[in-house]
Structure 1
């Protein structure tokens, strides 16, 4: 009697684990159901690929379920879990500031750069990553406070 109970408990655990691994995007991101395309989420691909360790069938089922339901795709404009963890920038320390003229500025500390070397090329890469737009190092303006920001704006408007 004791061995049949252990077998049923072990079988139940294996079944629950197989269900969770066989379609991880489906269970982890139910809000993504119904998406038809976009960037593929590398975290879901890695977890679906891990299902291949249990055999070809669980891995194929995991990929099939996630692709057919659209749960393998990232929502438009959102980074993957891997992108957020591999980014060298602490995005909580970057603030978007709008001045009284409606211009948007990014406020970040000087030590928030990607490589810590202090050069403009590293900051250029960092700002391109944060904003999603191509940033030229010549367009970067270092400001200490709001007064310096107003002076930079007036200089920029005068130069145009």
Structure 2
């Protein structure tokens, strides 16, 4: 009776390990939130292995990776724009005009960023949060 329980335990452990390795969201949490890009072949292969062994969890892994954006390769580009130019996109009441911001980013960086995309996550901040980090509000 000990051998069948060890086999069942081994199969259970192996299946759980394959499911942990079949999701790019676990390995690359910093990639979450990307909207588009080139698909990372390593993450796609891990998800495909999940489909080979277990169809439903593999499909779920693909779905989660596409939904979170973890399947896309990181862009690897950084850009900087002078704050004086960005101030043109801020109205008198302190709200950011997305169309003006998009025009500024397109003219300065040459990139058309989808600021009106419904998947875009916008974080709201406060003066207290800036003070916590030792920053001064200058809008």
The TM-score, its normalising length taken from structure 2, stands at 0.46
Higher strand proportion (structure 1 or 2):
1
The TM-score, its normalising length taken from structure 1, stands at 0.40
